Amino acid sequence: MTDYHFVYKDVEGTSTEWDDIQRRLGNLPPKPPVPRPEPWAPASDDDSSKDKQWMDTKTMEELEELEDDLDLDDDRFLEEYRKKRLAELKEISKKARYGSVLPISGSDFVREVSQAPSDVWVVVHLYKDGVAECGILGRCFDELATKYPGTKFVKIVSTECIPNYPDFNLPTVLIYNNTNVKATLVGLHHFGGRRCTPEDVAFTLCQVGPVLIGSEDDDTSKSVTEKVRQDFLERILTKHEQDKSELSDNED
């Protein structure tokens, strides 16, 4: 049996003339509204608000992965900022790679010293336990290694580095950079003798070159060197004034 009330549909949201007549007679419910597509808008995602602040939250690895995601035509500024930020993070990482005096053995010397990266200054302390001067210099190096984490400080028992090395040459300091020995300092007198301080040692190292590399808060190796020299000179002048004052008091 044919159902004369069957509604013939065309495309979705439309109906036949018969369907419209039945609605006017109240035999069918009101026609549902025709669905309309949402207004077009550019696709958006979590990266749609890329800016300098957004990039500052990214790690070095995440910034490297972003290289293929940025449209160089539309985001040329962001790409340049990404490169700059990536370089800053690499510089910070490089400067913060050390931070303490590393004990090494003879078998470690080539890897840790001779083959150190070309941009790294390596300070090698040849020492022996029981030699008082080595202990004095060692404590200064401990403090400097913490203060200047971009410089690699290592220590090695003298006879492991150089067989039969005489104890009267201790302490000995070797300064390496770019696989080359930049200085050899034999004896504590180079650093001011038994009364030397970390500031004295820092000043001597800076006479060799930009040996001391600080944290990311330091602008350049040159600025560190100049600051060490200025602090040293100020301390010498202060001590000189104190000595003059004491001498004057004694004469009175």
Tens digits of residue pLDDT in 44-90 = 444 445 666 666 666 656 666 666 565 544 466 666 776 777 777 66
Q: Where are the domains of the chain?
A: 52-95, 101-236
Model confidence at 189, in pLDDT bands (50, 70, 90)? very high
Q: Average pLDDT, stretch 190-195? A: 94
User: What is the CATH code of the structural domain delimited by 101-236?
Assistant: 3.40.30.10
Q: What number is the average pLDDT over the span 108-129?
A: 95
Whole-number Å distance between alpha carbons of 127 and 114: 19
Q: What is the pLDDT of residue 237?
A: 75
CB 150 within 8 A of CB 95: yes
- With a cut of 70, say whether residue 133 has pLDDT above it: yes
Q: Per-residue confidence at 106, pLDDT binned at 50, 70, 90?
A: very high
Lowest mean pLDDT among 52-56, 101-105, 196-200, 220-224: 220-224
Strand 121-127, strand 172-177: pairing: antiparallel
- Give the span between the Cα atoms of 178 and 190, in whole angstroms: 23
DSSP readout, the chain? Answer: ---TTPPPB-STT-B-HHHHHHHHTTSSPPPPPPP-PPPP-----TTTT--HHHHHTS-HHHHHHGGGTS-TTT-HHHHHHHHHHHHHHHHHHHHTS--SEEE--GGGHIIIIITS-TT-EEEEEEE-TT-HHHHHHHHHHHHHHHH-TTSEEEEEEHHHHSTT--GGG-SEEEEEETTEEEEEEESGGGGTGGG--HHHHHHHHHHHSS-----TTS--HHHHHHHHHHHHHHHHHHHHHHHHHHHHHHH-
Residue 23 pLDDT class (50, 70, 90 cuts): confident
First to last CA, the chain: 136
Highest mean pLDDT among 28-32, 155-159, 196-200: 155-159
The pTM (predicted TM-score) of the whole model is 0.58
Q: Please determine, for residue 135, whether its predicted confidence score (pLDDT) is greater than 90.
A: yes
pLDDT of residue 158: 97
Whether the ω angle into residue 171 lies within 30 degrees of 0, i.e. cis, is: yes
